[in-house]
């Protein structure tokens, strides 16, 4: 959420309107400005009425009976006036809040102006992309041959975009998630397995509502929602808190299942593992001091964590600064990490690294006490560490071998009991250490 007090400045209103255009958002900054002015006028009328009420009350005690009768009539009239104005003020507050929750944050100057991902600014590549040879198959066929995923059986009872990771597919996914979680833990992030069913205020507080409500699953009887990312829960852990400066930075590594309806992607990426309704993710969240330079450094550190995971998995990828048209409502600057997927013949998004400034903390009321004793809203940032099953697309395709097996990257082998090659005949018992009952 923006600081509505800035709406006093017409230049800021213009800047906000421009931000909405750049982000391709249907938002009218002038309408928000008008709502702010309406509330200001009513607040002024309420203050004036209460001042008159206070002034008349002072003279009431020492007045004679005749004067008191007149004063009482005036006080009754003012009291009715205040009640009426209070109703108007509450309505104006609700209107302002409703519009303010839909306002965008202003993109960082480093964000390239553009409309689609074609306008993103690619800043580096890592690794050599592998092209699909005639003897190669895509991840769907490879997963079927190796017995890693049930597509048809899962969709029979769960519907489209549903899968079941089975056997070695489940163990391979667990290994990737565990490796990413361990990396973040070693780098000072606190592991968290947070709630994935949350109240509406958590979704509003992190900026996923009201604009993204159509992508969320709702538990109607509970009036709660399944999160599309553990970012919602990790940020909300500190909702309505006043933190000490010594508490910051707070860095979380959340591991959870995530749920998205994919309402805006009807007919897109329906084959395979790229876009499913339920997935698992290790997410990075940082809560830091309100400092732009510190935020820039923190964002690059989060980005490095994700690239380190991809390098460990030996997956070619590239990093791009997202253009304004590819940014979400609250994002100030976003890096997209796109991993090469041979069957798609393209780099495709696997990570999104975002800085939000105080957008989420204002909505969630997360403050800290500065070194001067004042209070300020914290800054928040987030980035995917790894998300599965999407990461299995490049992992399986890039590392497949001519005999139909899949090579296990060296860094991942300790999480699979040292296994170097995955075949259709590999028993799941070989992917876990020998279990000895106590």
Among the options 68, 102, 239, 275, which is catalytic? 275
Could you confirm whether 349 is annotated as catalytic? yes
What is the Cβ-side half-sphere exposure of residue 145, based on CA atoms within 13 angstroms?
Answer: 17
The phi, psi pair for 143, rounded to 5°, reads: -65, -35
Active site annotation includes 257:
no
Q: Say which of 231, 307, 349, 397 is annotated catalytic.
A: 349
Of the candidates 285, 397, 281, 382, the one whose C-alpha atom is nearest the C-alpha of residue 339 is 397
Give the count of beta carbons closer than 10 Å to the beta carbon of residue 206: 29
> Of 236, 338, 390, 397, which residue is the catalytic one?
390
* Helix axes 168-186 and 139-146, enclosed angle (nearest 10): 110
Nearest to 97 by CA among 362, 286, 340, 301: 362
- Out of 39, 161, 251, 260, pick the active-site residue: 260
Backbone torsions φ then ψ of 151, nearest 5 degrees = -90, -65
Contacts of 148 (CB under 8 A, 6+ apart): 142, 165, 166, 167, 168, 169, 172, 392, 396
Residue 352 catalytic? yes
Q: Is 161 part of the annotated catalytic residue set?
A: no
Q: With the CA atoms of 249, 235, 376 and 28 taken in that order, what torsion angle do they form, in degrees rounded to the nearest 10?
A: 140
Q: Is the CA virtual torsion 255, 256, 257, 262 positive or negative?
A: negative
| Active-site residue, from 33, 352, 364, 405 | 352
Tell me, yes or no, if 390 is annotated catalytic.
yes
- Give the angle subtended at the CA of 431 by the CAs of 430 and 435, to the nearest 5°: 75
Indicate which residues carry an active-site annotation: 260, 275, 349, 352, 390
């Amino acid at each position: 959420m923006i600081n509505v007090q800035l709406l006093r400045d017409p230049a800021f209103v213009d800047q906000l309107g421009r931000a909405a255009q750049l982000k391709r958002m249907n938002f009218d900054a002038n309408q928000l400005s008008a709502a702010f002015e309406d509330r200001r006028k009513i607040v002024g009328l309420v203050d004036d009425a209460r001042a008159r009420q206070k002034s008349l009350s002072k003279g009431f005690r020492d007045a004679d009976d005749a004067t008191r009768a007149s004063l009482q009539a005036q006080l009754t009239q003012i009291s009715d006036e205040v009640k009426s104005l209070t109703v108007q003020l509450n309505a104006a507050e609700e209107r302002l809040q409703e519009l303010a929750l839909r306002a965008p944050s202003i993109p960082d100057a480093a964000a390239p102006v553009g409309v689609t991902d074609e306008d993103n600014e690619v800043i580096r590549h890592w690794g050599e992309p592998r092209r699909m040879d005639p003897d190669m198959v895509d991840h769907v066929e490879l997963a079927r041959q190796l017995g890693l995923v049930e597509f048809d059986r899962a969709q029979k009872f769960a519907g489209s975009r549903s899968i079941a990771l089975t056997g070695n597919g489940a163990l391979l996914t667990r290994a990737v998630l565990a490796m990413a979680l361990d990396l973040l833990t070693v780098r000072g992030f606190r592991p968290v397995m947070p709630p994935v069913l949350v109240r509406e205020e958590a979704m509003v507080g992190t900026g996923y509502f009201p604009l993204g409500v159509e992508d969320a699953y709702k538990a109607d009887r509970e009036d709660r929602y399944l999160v599309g990312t553990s970012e919602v829960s990790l940020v909300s852990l500190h909702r309505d808190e006043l933190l000490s400066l010594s508490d910051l930075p707070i860095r979380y590594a959340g591991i959870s299942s995530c749920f998205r309806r994919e309402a805006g992607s009807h007919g897109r990426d329906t084959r395979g593992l790229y876009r499913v309704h339920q997935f698992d993710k290790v997410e990075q969240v940082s809560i830091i001091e309100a400092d732009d330079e510190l935020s820039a450094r923190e964002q690059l550190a989060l980005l490095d964590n994700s690239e380190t995971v991809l390098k460990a998995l030996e997956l070619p990828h590239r990093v791009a600064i997202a253009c304004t048209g590819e940014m979400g409502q609250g994002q100030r600057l976003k890096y997209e990490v796109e991993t090469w997927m041979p069957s798609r013949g393209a780099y495709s998004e696997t990570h999104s690294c975002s800085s939000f400034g105080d957008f989420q903390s204002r909505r969630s009321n997360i403050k800290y006490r500065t070194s001067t004793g004042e209070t300020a809203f914290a800054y928040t940032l987030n980035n995917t560490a790894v998300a599965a099953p999407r990461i299995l697309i490049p992992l399986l395709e890039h590392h497949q071998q001519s005999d139909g097996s899949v090579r296990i990257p060296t860094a991942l082998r300790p999480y699979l009991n040292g296994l170097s090659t995955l075949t259709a005949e590999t028993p799941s018992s070989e992917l876990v250490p020998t279990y000895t009952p106590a």
